[in-house]
Structure 1
Amino acid sequence: MKFKFILAGAALLFALSSQAQHKSRNTDNDTISSNYIPSNLFSPSFHTQKGNEFHSVNGDPGPKYWQNRVDYLLKANIDTVAKTLSADENITYTNNSPDALQYLWLQLDQNTYKKDARSNFVTGNQPRADQHTTGYQLESVSISQNGKTEKVLYVVTDTRMQIRLPRALAGNGGKINILIKYHYTIPGNFGARTDYTDTKNGKIYEIAQWFPRMCVYDDSQGWDTLPFLGSGEFYCEYGDIDYSVTVPWDMIVAGSGELVNPAEVLTAKQLSRYNQAHNSDKTIMIRTAQEVTDPASRPVNKGTLTWHFKMFNTRDVAFGASKAYIWDAARINLPGGKKSLSMSVYPVESAGNDSWGRSTEYLKGAIEHFSAKWYVYPYPVAVNEAGIAGGMEYPGILFDGITDKGKDLFWVTAHEIGHNWFPMIVGTDERRFAWMDEGFNTFIDVYASDAFNKGEYAPKRDGEYAPGGGNPADEIVPTILDPDAPTIMTAPDAIAEKYRHPITYFKPAFGLILLREQFLGKDRFDYAFKNYICKWAFKHPQPDDFFRSMENGAGEDLSWFWKGWYYNNYNLDLALSSAKYVDGDAKKGVKVVVVNKDQMAMPFTIEVKLKNGCKERMSLPVETWLQNKATTFTIPTTTEAESVTIDPDNALPDSDRKNNVMKVK
């Protein structure tokens, strides 16, 4: 007991001594209050778990990383009278996990349109009575294994289906085929991501989330069975998808992947133009506006045509179909001499170079930039399709707004094709971590706008990138200060619409801008970020993998940033407390006291403006705030100074810029 009292007394004396020392170091800022507590931000235990065999400590996939595989064979038919899609699906599922699987889970996204779907109740605003379908109508579900086909017990729960296997599927490469015959009513203009709508020359069908897809089974969640509720998008396995779509003879189908039977569905003239486009940097018209209403623009004048596509190493496919499409294309030039094809399909209402006439050029330019800057586009074709989905992405195809023009069309095109890097190449779980695709993609958009046609539509930092149209650093501050605002790490379906853009898109994108342009520098950031993309291409990273990749690749402990910016909405408020000559002599420099008034800390730049018109700057690292709420330093000068400014470029999200400037005494 005596020993314990001695220890307690010693601890008390040490605490009092530490407080006295802390106070003495901060005497210059006693007049300014501060909510900043260094130990809250700089914690040595941010990464609470060690790396393992599947996710290495450096952010790479581990030596025993595994991932299941799904290949699809799909044969679909669209009935334009009944507005239904029917299909036969053959799924080859490979269980590369070490676990035997007694049951399988599939996503049934079309069930989100049913009257009793969970998605109807997320916001409290239910769809109207005429904005529903009956969802998937499953005609049969069977499995085939070792040459034996048998019907199987299945249970549908909202947008998920569980298949209960009679025998467990072996791990480490066990295979099974799932055979599903189904149909569903295509949603009308209420479909949001999949729909049909009228144009002058016929309906446009945008077909997405149209076949049952396997849920992901991974080492982080096991079966990832979150229901489809709307904001949280997709998490899918990779594999090859072979799909055929049968439509009336007068319709054009534009889909993910490569059209493997062009000679069967195009006229000789169209086939010649199609082949020409593969070798042309200028946009080639495959089907002109004048040909849209000409029956001779189709190879047959009755019955149906089947369009056959293949896409390899992809997580999904989607397509558009219409007899109203104008169709054009051009070559995409990729690093290493590789080529791809940029294509656009749109109605006559969208024609013209002030509108969709430049869509293929926009798509080509964005892909060439992203490929040179980050990772080479892996697919043979990219399609921009005009409809009412108004900005939605799937592998190799975009659904963009039929009325979009000019810079808005370029920006939405660059953004949606950017999703082919996040999450189509880097296969993140959008349903849990939307910021890992929307935030990353909004970030790379910024530089695509700078690069396209010598900055024709730059900068994107204004307008869409900054929600209020101003300086991004200032635009994010109201969200950070909002006590009701969720954090970046909040589940996407739990983020109210008011905060969806600021939290899911804008804040994580601006966070990467800060890392690249203020904290790490472009070279270190780009090296680490490209390494992350390369190591996790066609795999499933978790947030911690990204954090570790950036820290290890850049050689910087960024736990303070992840904690303050991603897991919390910590506010930054740096303030000048004092600015005066050392010993009253301008030749000895300007002594400055800067106070950190709130919870966040960041590196910062300080500038002194001299009376002769010159300016001097100093950059202080984040370590400035490891121990202190205030820092005192001297800016070397040899002549009289006029004023001192913190963050002179307004690059940091400082919530109060009025206390950033002070005249020199």
Structure 2
Amino acid sequence: MRYLKLINILCVGGLFAIANTASAQTDSIKYNHQESFGPITWPVTGQGTRSNAGKPSPTYWQNRADYQIKATLNEGKDTTITGEVTITYTNNSPDQLDYLWLQLDQNLFKPDSRGAAVTPYTGDRFDVRGFSRGGYHISSVEVTYKGETYKVTPVITDARMQLRLNAPMDGKGEKISVKINYDFAIPFYGADRMGRKKFKQGYVYEIAQWYPRMCVYDDVEGWNTLPYMGLGEFYCEYGDFDYYVTAPANMVVVGSGDLQNPEEVLSPAQLSRMAEAKSSDKTVMLIKQNEVGKSSTRPFKGSLTWHYKMLNSRDVAFGASDAFIWDAARVNFPSGRKGIAMSAYPVESAGVDSWGRSTEYLKNSMEIYSKAYFEYPWNSAVNVSGVALGMEYPGAIFCLGGLKKGQLWGDVTHEIGHNWFPMIVGSNERKYMWMDEGFNTFINEYASQQFNKGEYNDTTKQAQRILGQYRNSKDPLMTAPEAIGLNDYGQYYVKTALGMDILRNVVLGPDRFDYAFHEYIKNWAFKHPLPYDLFRAMNDASGEDLNWFWKGWFTTTWKIDQAITGVKYVDDNAANGSLITITNNEKMAMPVDLKITQANGKVETLHLPVNVWQRGGVWTFKYPSTSKIKLMVIDPEHELPDVNLKNNVYYGE
């Protein structure tokens, strides 16, 4: 706006004459202070396992699943995985369990799956259509408990499998063993999370959701059995993984965790180069481009079994191919511990502007996140180029083969960032997608600022642009992934990250925010936090009641519209001070940053707390001006997604 109509203001002290009050402004205001600041009660667990301070209480418990997996990759017309998984399940709950629930995620690809049924006929990113050989074939299930071994006939419902026990399983540390023999055909496009793709020198297999795994039984909902339908990701128990992958001898198999038998599966040259890479901050080639496909590179016959271990993880994944270029570099963790970052990719992905820098991106991301948030707890990570656009697993990520430069950096730092959310902080992705995608997107911003002096840092971001396309969404962030609008799930990423930026930069300040966020990460590492644990943790550690923020940003679709609606000089003399009226037109409350430029050249930015809106949507305050106000701007740094920027500006006479 060019000019604002000046409003005569009521002064409580009686020093100024009154012509009109600002009450007329309230007619168009949607804001209701009782909605934002009225009483609110977050849910609590019935067992008292989570404290009011947002921490696990002394009575918190969590079940555990340890896996031994032996699988074979069988190439052919229908390339398959055949496997045997033995799960040692520990029931740390106080409850007896009459049955167990497992996830059968490959059943998403059965033609009659729920995921296929709810896929639009026009398709979507996950494009779950199903295929004739899709899904698990369970050949046998055997249970061992208290010395008794017996077969179980599984009850399979879509992507879940129930095992009804002969006798209840006791709690408080009791263990049960479940042995399952299975196979499945590898889909070409596995919902953008796994699959196979033919490249010039061979197929690249990205293998995930490749073994039946335990559903989570937690202190909040008991068994978590929401089906896998495509968009909603995973909720898994922690445990140790000991897995073996048998594949054709000409293939390289890279995966989550530490390779246990390098001498059996690597050539002498690869062993030597691997040792060099573990001591090098620069990328070392393990298999060079001109070595791919040569018998000297893979001097083995028949098949080989690759043995990996990963401790205290919630999942594992692997990549396999005879077309891999393979490289690696050392990772330096804050404690002084060393690790290794690797990349495996076909010749189509090679190049100094593409996957030739993948390991550099991976290494630096791991070091940045370890220093800033929580030290990466495992020893290795690998990035695999293939059919998946971008997908994350503990210690293994899949990125699209054709990405270059900043796009590849963004994909790598995002997918490995997921090793902090939700692989370390183990939230329920299937219900609360924003807790992993959004927090990860938030920390990605700071990685991009730090990597290589900001090589790929985006300095053009503005809140209005970031949130613009989701402004009319009818679904708040707390909506479960399978219930959100088909075009709206991107807000899980950007609206959450923007909210965390606002909380850090506008509401709390970096010091208080960073301390509280670190406390949340530390207390919930390798555990299962709820949104309400986050809300309580941030409130408690920052010393601020942020319920107005959590409610407005995460549970509603409220908008922000802060406006300058009046200026009057005391006794008509700017040297005596100014009375400035601001209005909160929309439902969302936020602090107000107001940059004021006086005619005498003085410039300052006022920071008004959100509390100015606690009693209503109009606030008048006295500013100690010494000359006329030339210009005022609300939110000068564009931190807030204000829906009407025109009323954020005041031009003086």
TM (norm. structure 1) is 0.92
Secondary structure in structure 2 of the residue aligned to 1:115: coil
* CA displacement, residues 203-247 of structure 1 (integer Å, 9 cap, x when unaligned): 000100000000000011100000001111000000000000000
Which residue pairs with 2:478 in the alignment?
Answer: 489
The counterpart of 2:568, out of the listed 575, 580, 587, is 580
Contact 1:43/1:559 (8 A) holds in 2: no
* CA displacement, residues 562-607 of structure 1 (integer Å, 9 cap, x when unaligned): 1111000111111111123222112122221101111111101112
Secondary structure in structure 2 of the residue aligned to 1:450: helix
2:397 counterpart of 1:398: yes
Q: Which moved more, 1:627-636 or 1:163-172?
A: 627-636
Secondary structure in structure 2 of the residue aligned to 1:105: strand
Unaligned runs of 5+ in 2: 1-17
Cα separation, partners in 2 of 1:412 and 1:165, compared to 1, 3 Å: same
CA shift for structure 1 position 150: 1.4
2:496 counterpart of 1:500: no
Which residue pairs with 2:324 in the alignment?
Answer: 325
CA shift for structure 1 position 129: 7.0
Cα separation, partners in 2 of 1:513 and 1:130, compared to 1, 3 Å: closer
Paired with 1:610 and 1:80, the residues of 2 have a C-alpha distance of 75
2:519 counterpart of 1:541: no
Contact 1:609/1:643 (8 A) holds in 2: yes
Which residue pairs with 1:11 in the alignment?
Answer: none
The counterpart of 2:630, out of the listed 642, 656, 659, is 642
Cα separation, partners in 2 of 1:515 and 1:245, compared to 1, 3 Å: same
Which residue pairs with 1:71 in the alignment?
Answer: 66
Secondary structure in structure 2 of the residue aligned to 1:638: coil
Cα separation, partners in 2 of 1:128 and 1:226, compared to 1, 3 Å: closer
Which residue pairs with 1:475 in the alignment?
Answer: 466
Paired with 2:46 and 2:467, the residues of 1 have a C-alpha distance of 33
CA shift for structure 1 position 49: 4.0
Contact 1:155/1:163 (8 A) holds in 2: yes
CA shift for structure 1 position 147: 3.3
* CA displacement, residues 300-350 of structure 1 (integer Å, 9 cap, x when unaligned): 1x2001100000000000000000000000011101101111000001111
Contact 1:243/1:310 (8 A) holds in 2: yes
Which residue pairs with 1:138 in the alignment?
Answer: 138
Which residue pairs with 1:529 in the alignment?
Answer: 517
2:302 counterpart of 1:303: yes
Secondary structure in structure 1 of the residue aligned to 2:631: strand
The aligned runs of 1:154-165 (5 Å cut-off) are 154-165=154-165
Which residue pairs with 2:553 in the alignment?
Answer: 565
Paired with 2:466 and 2:298, the residues of 1 have a C-alpha distance of 51
* CA displacement, residues 396-420 of structure 1 (integer Å, 9 cap, x when unaligned): 1110010011000001100000000
Unaligned runs of 5+ in 1: 1-23, 463-469
The aligned runs of 1:135-534 (5 Å cut-off) are 135-189=135-189, 191-300=191-300, 302-459=301-458, 462=460, 471-480=462-471, 482=472, 484-502=473-491, 504-534=492-522
Paired with 1:180 and 1:227, the residues of 2 have a C-alpha distance of 20
The aligned runs of 1:613-632 (5 Å cut-off) are 613-632=601-620
Which residue pairs with 2:109 in the alignment?
Answer: 113
CA shift for structure 1 position 123: 3.5
CA RMSD of aligned residues (A): 1.7
Which residue pairs with 1:13 in the alignment?
Answer: none
* Counterpart code for 2:39: P
Q: Which moved more, 1:523-532 or 1:603-612?
A: 603-612
Cα separation, partners in 2 of 1:579 and 1:51, compared to 1, 3 Å: farther
Which residue pairs with 2:5 in the alignment?
Answer: none
Which residue pairs with 1:84 in the alignment?
Answer: 80
Cα separation, partners in 2 of 1:172 and 1:128, compared to 1, 3 Å: closer
Paired with 1:46 and 1:476, the residues of 2 have a C-alpha distance of 28
Contact 2:47/2:219 (8 A) holds in 1: no
Paired with 2:498 and 2:175, the residues of 1 have a C-alpha distance of 44
Contact 1:333/1:340 (8 A) holds in 2: yes
* Counterpart code for 2:52: V
Which residue pairs with 1:602 in the alignment?
Answer: 590
Cα separation, partners in 2 of 1:205 and 1:474, compared to 1, 3 Å: closer
TM (norm. structure 2) is 0.94
Contact 1:474/1:655 (8 A) holds in 2: no
Paired with 2:199 and 2:370, the residues of 1 have a C-alpha distance of 35
Identity over aligned pairs, percent: 49
* Counterpart code for 1:593: T
Cα separation, partners in 2 of 1:115 and 1:419, compared to 1, 3 Å: same
Contact 2:110/2:130 (8 A) holds in 1: no
Paired with 2:60 and 2:128, the residues of 1 have a C-alpha distance of 46
Paired with 2:238 and 2:322, the residues of 1 have a C-alpha distance of 32
Contact 2:292/2:322 (8 A) holds in 1: yes
Cα separation, partners in 2 of 1:167 and 1:476, compared to 1, 3 Å: same
Cα separation, partners in 2 of 1:128 and 1:256, compared to 1, 3 Å: closer
